[in-house]
Structure 1
Amino acid sequence: MEPLQLFELMIAMLLAIIALHYAARRLGLPPAVALLTGGVLLAFLPGLPVIELNPELVLVIFLPPLLMDGAWFIALGHLKRHMIGILSLAVGAVVFTTAVVAVVTHALFPALPWAACAALGAIVSPPDAISARAVLQRVKLPRRLSILLEGESLLNDAAGLVLFRFAIAAGLTGAFSASEAIGGFLLLAIGGLAVGAAVGAAWVLLVRRLGDDYLMIASSILVPWAAYLLAETLHVSGVLATVAAGLICGWYQHVIWTASVRMRGGAFWTVMIFLMEASVFMLIGSSLRGVIDRVGGVDVVLVQMAVPVLLILLALTAARFAWMYGSDAIIALVRMLGVRRYTQIGARGSTVVAWAGMRGVVTLAVALSVPQDFPGRDLMLVTAFAVILGTVLIQGTTLGWLIRKLAPPASADDHCRLTLNQAEASIARAQVALLETRAYDGDGNLIHPRLLDSYQRRASITDRYVVEAAEMRSGLIAHFDMVLELVAVGRAELIRLHRAGEIDEETLHELERDLDLEELSAHAQKS
């Protein structure tokens, strides 16, 4: 493909992303479903070139920033509290699902070597971080279930990739050692975490010295790729390195970034992640034609592979349900024996988590990386694509309905010690306490009367709101609705002054920024 054609294709894809996102919102569909479907349709439009994905390039471009974004914003306290449950899903469920898929595949294709069956299981077993993010952003889950799924999506790719590498090595060499596999996994994991921690710490030290908003934001863009590429160069887990770096950066950004950097950087990252997530699903859909051509055409897929692939997909889904229900049953048994440290998530919660296992770009990229002469490669490609289509299109469209229908209950640890209103009241009291010590000069004269009165009134109102939220809510909404109307009037007058030539561009931008901040604050207080 010529460079100009590639650029034109990228522009066309961007236009398609905007159109499909808009259509999905109007139709009430998850955007991932619309984008994947749109990509499939584009794949078969006459005149368009066949999309050939380079698996290594796809993973390097898309996976690090999307993992970084998830790690940056995850609730670290909840992540640590539920780490055992997350590891159960990210490692235990992946290993169990890989084994189930391998057994089913070998039963369907007895001539296929066990190593190839295991490789297929490793390809399709880990749910995808990108697919999970795309769907979970549109649903409301209890905190514990949300953390379990977010944490799983950050860590399970490492387990799946390690299993895949050992299965491929066993298939090519004919040798496999369980002790070597476990030792190799631990080395990859510990090494990846160490590299990520080093990159994250280096970023924190660097940002403290940059002193420029745009340099700080630009440096944050480099972190995910720096962690991932350095770890892969050292032959340790790039996935875990990126996650570790993201956790460190997300933890320290609150104290090393200024408010302006957070606003500008947050806006930039939001748009970048939106485009990358959307592009991933478009590329997955667009690559269907190339996958079908690789395995011999539609007839080969429908006649020789459709039924076995469907059975593998059903086994994959059943394995995840079995793991979830089995894990919950073990916790119930442990509690009956007197160990109360662990709590169940219940049948409804287990059902939701089991149904939320969507696959995506990692599954396809890993399938494409299977060596050309490896046994069962065509089956792996078709199965990988079928699993992505099946989980995203079926589970992605029904997950919201399932959550509303089952309404999984919140657990006790879903609730923090302080509510949002109580935290606001605590902040207001701290501000008043400082101001009361600074509002008077050395002779006892009040030098900040208006400031002291304003903050005292704010503290009084927030204290009242903690106990009278329901009664004060309507008045609060009316207040900020009025603020928003005043901001709109002020903005209209500002534009009029600029269009009439009475103020210059610099004044326009300065005053517009003030109005924007006031509007954002009003929306935040109202919500």
Structure 2
Amino acid sequence: MTSEATYKFIAFLLIATIVLELIARRLRLPPAASLIVGGIVLALMPGIPSIHIDPDLVMLVFLPPLLMSSAYFTVWSDFRRHFGGIASLALGAVAFTTLAVALVFHLLVPQLPWAVGFALGAIVSPPDAVAAGAILERLQLPSRITTLLEGESLVNDASGLVLLRFAVAAAMTGTFSTVGALGALAWVSTGGIAAGLLIGWLGLIAIRKLGNSELVVTATLLLAVVSYISAEAMGSSGVLSTVTTGLLLGWHQHGTFSAETRVRAQAFWGILVFLLESLLFIMIGLSLRGVLERIGGLRHGASELWLPILAVVVTVIVARFVWMTGAGTFRRLLRKEGQRPDATSTFATTAIMSWAGMRGVVTLTGALSLPADFPGKDILLVAAFAVIVVTVLLQGSTLGPLASLLKIINPEEARSIKDNAAAAWRRVAEAQYRAVQSLALGKDGVIHHPRLLEQYDHRAKVAALYEADPTKHDDIKSQHFGAVLAANRAGRAEILRMHRAGEIHETVMRQLEHELDLQEMAAQNRR
């Protein structure tokens, strides 16, 4: 396609993503599933050009900002507290799945070397950060499960990519070094984390000097790309480097970024992630035509392909459940008498976390990155595509109903968070009141800010009453902020009337509107 045709096709895909997103919401389906199906339908339509994905370009353009966003908004305290479980999934589950897939594939396709099976296992073993995030953000799962799944998808690519690298080398050269593989894994991990820390630290120094919110938000995007490229140039993990940089920025954003920057950054990253995720999933569906073209020469053996591909898909799903069950049993055996059971050891939790192993763009790009003369590349590409489609469509679409069936939603956690928020608002209101109180009384003993003092005193008292009995005051709180929103709408209508009548300048209108926007956001969050 020409450059102009490519631009028009991308615009067409963006229109398609909006339509498919609306369809997904109407049918209550995960948008990722709707986008992949839509992409497959488009791929089979006449006149739609074939999409040939450049794996290196996809990894460079799409992955850094998506990883940065996920890491930036990760709750660091939860990530650190559950790091043992995250490491078990990111290392143990990936290695176990790789081994299981390699064994099954070699049994069914014995004419190909063992290394080919290991390469396929490494490609399909790591659940994808993009796929997991797109599904999990619409489910109300317990925070522990969400933290483990999101944390796993952020760091498991390092182990999967290292295994793939050595499997490819073994298949092409016929040699394999266990010591070399372990050493490479150590360097990929430590080098990526070190690069991410260094770039994140330098980025924070630069951000403190920028000041302007547009420049700061732009700098966070550039830091994602620089962190990824720098680590890859060192031969270490660009994924871990970008995740580390994102975690560092996310931890320091509250003290380093201004309120305006945080509001704009949240809006910017929300839109960017939506666009990138949508394009990725629809491109996965569109890549079906390329997959079909590649296996066109293998149609004489199509009847023999379906069994190993189906076996690989089933093995990927079952292996994760086996690992989760075994890990939970092992933790129970190690648990001391009288110690509380591990929340991840129950059957319901194990089932949900096992069923949540969606694969996505990393699996597809891993398959596409295989050398042209790699043994059995066509079969591996079809198997990888099948794993993506089945895990996203089947598991992603049924994860919510399964969580409801197993009653995995924990009302006590939601109640605890609500109580915690009430206590936090009470302490914030008291701190604000003390600050105003110290400034209200002048040296002459006269109160200079009586209305402000009264306002913050009232806030502190209401916050204390609400903390003592949230249920009793829920209706009062809802009515209060409902009135605030009504007043906000009236003010907004008056601003718009004055602007259209030519009574106020455009700049004044925008300033007043921005203040009302912030007030509305605060009221909606508290209602």
TM-score w.r.t. the length of structure 1 is 0.97
Relative to 1, partners in 2 of residues 1:389 and 1:417: Cα closer, same or farther, differing over 3 Å? closer
* Structure 2 counterpart of 1:199: 199
CA contact (8 A) 2:332 2:345 kept: no
Superposed displacement of residue 295, structure 1: 1.8
* Structure 2 counterpart of 1:160: 160
1:423 matches 2:424: yes
CA contact (8 A) 1:94 1:122 kept: yes
CA deviations over 1:63-91 (Å, ceiling 9, x no partner): 11111111111111111111110000011
Following the alignment from structure 1 to structure 2, what is the Cα–Cα distance between the partners of residues 369 and 401? 36
Superposed displacement of residue 449, structure 1: 1.2
Amino acid across the alignment from 1:49: P
Superposed displacement of residue 127, structure 1: 0.5
CA deviations over 1:98-139 (Å, ceiling 9, x no partner): 000000000001111111110000000000100000100111
Relative to 1, partners in 2 of residues 1:378 and 1:81: Cα closer, same or farther, differing over 3 Å? same
Following the alignment from structure 2 to structure 1, what is the Cα–Cα distance between the partners of residues 331 and 143? 19
Superposed displacement of residue 434, structure 1: 2.1
Superposed displacement of residue 408, structure 1: 2.3
CA contact (8 A) 1:143 1:410 kept: no
After superposition, residues 254-333 of structure 1 pair within 5 angstroms as 254-296=254-296, 299=299, 302-333=302-333
* Structure 2 counterpart of 1:460: 461
1:441 matches 2:442: yes
CA deviations over 1:189-238 (Å, ceiling 9, x no partner): 00000000011001100011112111111111101111000000111110
After superposition, residues 371-410 of structure 1 pair within 5 angstroms as 371-408=371-408, 410=410
Secondary structure of 2:335's counterpart equals: helix
Identify the range of structure 1 (473-482 vs 81-90) with the bigger mean alpha-carbon deviation. 473-482
CA deviations over 1:280-318 (Å, ceiling 9, x no partner): 001100011001101226945842311210111111111
* Structure 1 counterpart of 2:220: 220
- How many residues matched? 526
Identify the range of structure 1 (310-319 vs 507-516) with the bigger mean alpha-carbon deviation. 507-516
CA contact (8 A) 1:144 1:411 kept: no
Relative to 1, partners in 2 of residues 1:409 and 1:509: Cα closer, same or farther, differing over 3 Å? closer
1:349 matches 2:333: no
* Structure 1 counterpart of 2:475: 474
Following the alignment from structure 2 to structure 1, what is the Cα–Cα distance between the partners of residues 412 and 163? 36
Superposed displacement of residue 443, structure 1: 2.7
CA deviations over 1:363-404 (Å, ceiling 9, x no partner): 000100111111111111000000000000000100000011
Following the alignment from structure 1 to structure 2, what is the Cα–Cα distance between the partners of residues 77 and 71? 12
Following the alignment from structure 2 to structure 1, what is the Cα–Cα distance between the partners of residues 388 and 214? 38
* Structure 2 counterpart of 1:28: 28
Following the alignment from structure 1 to structure 2, what is the Cα–Cα distance between the partners of residues 428 and 358? 43
* Structure 2 counterpart of 1:486: 487
Following the alignment from structure 1 to structure 2, what is the Cα–Cα distance between the partners of residues 522 and 411? 24
Relative to 1, partners in 2 of residues 1:417 and 1:458: Cα closer, same or farther, differing over 3 Å? closer
Superposed displacement of residue 483, structure 1: 1.8
* Structure 2 counterpart of 1:242: 242
Following the alignment from structure 1 to structure 2, what is the Cα–Cα distance between the partners of residues 374 and 310? 22
Amino acid across the alignment from 2:91: V
Identity rate of aligned residues, in percent? 44
- Which consecutive aligned stretches of 4+ in structure 1 deviate over 6 angstroms post-superposition? 337-341, 411-414
* Structure 2 counterpart of 1:174: 174
Relative to 1, partners in 2 of residues 1:42 and 1:343: Cα closer, same or farther, differing over 3 Å? closer
* Structure 2 counterpart of 1:63: 63
Identify the range of structure 1 (254-263 vs 85-94) with the bigger mean alpha-carbon deviation. 254-263
Following the alignment from structure 1 to structure 2, what is the Cα–Cα distance between the partners of residues 280 and 190? 29
Identify the range of structure 1 (410-419 vs 485-494) with the bigger mean alpha-carbon deviation. 410-419
* Structure 2 counterpart of 1:208: 208
CA contact (8 A) 2:142 2:413 kept: no
1:504 matches 2:522: no
* Structure 1 counterpart of 2:41: 41
* Structure 2 counterpart of 1:495: 496
Secondary structure of 2:29's counterpart equals: coil
CA contact (8 A) 1:331 1:343 kept: no
5+ residue gaps in structure 1? none
Following the alignment from structure 2 to structure 1, what is the Cα–Cα distance between the partners of residues 376 and 14? 35
Amino acid across the alignment from 1:200: G
* Structure 2 counterpart of 1:126: 126
Amino acid across the alignment from 1:41: V
Identify the range of structure 1 (407-416 vs 178-187) with the bigger mean alpha-carbon deviation. 407-416
Following the alignment from structure 2 to structure 1, what is the Cα–Cα distance between the partners of residues 413 and 524? 29
CA contact (8 A) 1:43 1:285 kept: yes
CA contact (8 A) 2:140 2:409 kept: no
Relative to 1, partners in 2 of residues 1:297 and 1:47: Cα closer, same or farther, differing over 3 Å? farther
Relative to 1, partners in 2 of residues 1:410 and 1:491: Cα closer, same or farther, differing over 3 Å? closer
5+ residue gaps in structure 2? none
* Structure 1 counterpart of 2:145: 145
Following the alignment from structure 1 to structure 2, what is the Cα–Cα distance between the partners of residues 323 and 295? 33
CA contact (8 A) 1:20 1:31 kept: yes
Relative to 1, partners in 2 of residues 1:378 and 1:488: Cα closer, same or farther, differing over 3 Å? same
* Structure 2 counterpart of 1:520: 521
Following the alignment from structure 2 to structure 1, what is the Cα–Cα distance between the partners of residues 235 and 413? 38
Following the alignment from structure 1 to structure 2, what is the Cα–Cα distance between the partners of residues 244 and 103? 34
Superposed displacement of residue 513, structure 1: 1.4
* Structure 2 counterpart of 1:232: 232
Following the alignment from structure 1 to structure 2, what is the Cα–Cα distance between the partners of residues 430 and 11? 50
Following the alignment from structure 2 to structure 1, what is the Cα–Cα distance between the partners of residues 417 and 487? 36
Following the alignment from structure 2 to structure 1, what is the Cα–Cα distance between the partners of residues 433 and 13? 53
Secondary structure of 1:296's counterpart equals: helix
Secondary structure of 2:193's counterpart equals: helix
Following the alignment from structure 2 to structure 1, what is the Cα–Cα distance between the partners of residues 90 and 320? 11
CA contact (8 A) 1:32 1:135 kept: yes
Amino acid across the alignment from 1:245: T
Following the alignment from structure 1 to structure 2, what is the Cα–Cα distance between the partners of residues 434 and 498? 37
Identify the range of structure 1 (505-514 vs 83-92) with the bigger mean alpha-carbon deviation. 505-514
Amino acid across the alignment from 1:446: I
Superposed displacement of residue 468, structure 1: 1.7
Relative to 1, partners in 2 of residues 1:403 and 1:457: Cα closer, same or farther, differing over 3 Å? same
* Structure 2 counterpart of 1:98: 98
CA contact (8 A) 2:72 2:250 kept: yes
Following the alignment from structure 2 to structure 1, what is the Cα–Cα distance between the partners of residues 462 and 340? 41
Following the alignment from structure 1 to structure 2, what is the Cα–Cα distance between the partners of residues 300 and 131? 34
Secondary structure of 1:362's counterpart equals: helix
CA deviations over 1:1-47 (Å, ceiling 9, x no partner): 10010001011001001111111111111111110011111111111
1:54 matches 2:54: yes
Following the alignment from structure 1 to structure 2, what is the Cα–Cα distance between the partners of residues 496 and 436? 38
